[in-house]
Amino acid sequence: MTGSAAAAWAAVRLVHPAPTAAVILLSAALGAILLAQAGRALDASWAWTVAAVAGSQIFVGATNDLVDRARDEAAGRLTKPLAGGDLSPGAAVWIASGGLGLQLAASLQLGTGALLFGLVAVISALVYNLWLSRTPWSVVPYLVSFGVLPLWVATGVGVPLERVAVAPLLVAPFAAAAHLANVLRDFEADATLGSRNLAQVLGRRRAHRLAWGLAMAVGLGVGVALAVGGSATPVALGPGVIGLAAVAQGIRGPERLWIGMLVAAVAWTAAWALATG
């Protein structure tokens, strides 16, 4: 790999590409679904909203690695671009600044509401990176940032917030599960470095089972609610079952659960769109 290609790949790794792509894709899908249900085509508001979310994810991923650089080096996580020396801290600061700049520039095109929701989400994530990630309160920023996300998207595309009023209640347990699955992947290293995040407090086995149970409960609960409401169409069943299967196999370990939850988030969004569209 050439020097420029290696630097580009390091920059991609810096922003945590898998969860970043998942959040951007979910936001884009949610915005498109809300517009379609309102009888509107994709427009500039949708594009600016997706761009704002993308900027926030770039900023959050880059600052996470910047804050954790010394800890990653101590834990031997040399696959991390900063800890492994594949990217300089200065370059990471520029990438983080570019992400935040993109979020703010895009949000200014959408109005005060979208700007404020976006700031709540990104400030919550920054508080996690700087302070709460190593405390028993580590789950709180996940609840805040992901709870705000549907409201942010709806406001950005100009859809009444009533359309997503229940979304934060559904997102909360899934966000908690995602947090636990994520930090469990580094359980030993975090324990060695003295972290007291929620998974450390609960213990490995209990945290894993809680994460799995919460994620499964969200999928089953939404499925039952759609069935009772008469919206569980046969065409929506496929992605719904795929999401459940993806989470179910996560009982075998945190890494599998983390990947399964990324798949489920996309699959269940598609199922919801097909069932309610």
Q: pTM value?
A: 0.93
Does 130 lie in the same domain as 97? Answer: yes
Q: Which residues of the chain have pLDDT under 70?
A: 1-2, 277
Does 49 lie in the same domain as 141? Answer: yes
Does 143 lie in the same domain as 25? Answer: yes
Domain final residue pick, 117, 136, 158: 158
Residue 2's pLDDT is: 66
- Domain count for the chain, please give it: 2
Does 273 lie in the same domain as 180? Answer: yes
Q: What CATH number corresponds to the domain at position 145?
A: 1.10.357.140
Residue 1's pLDDT is: 63
Q: Which residue has the tokens 């959040």?
A: 23
Does 126 lie in the same domain as 187? Answer: no
What is the rounded CA–CA span in Å between residue 115 and residue 133? 25
Its domain, for residue 265, covers: 166-277
Domain final residue pick, 158, 174, 197: 158
List Cβ<8 Å contacts ≥24 apart for 230-233.
231/275, 231/276, 232/275, 233/274, 233/275
Residue 187's pLDDT is: 94
Does 191 lie in the same domain as 134? Answer: no
Residue 227's pLDDT is: 80
Residue 277's pLDDT is: 63
Listed in sequence order, the residues at least 6 apart from 261 whose beta carbon sits closer than 8 Å to its beta carbon are 174, 177, 178, 181, 215, 246, 247, 250
Does 150 lie in the same domain as 20? Answer: yes
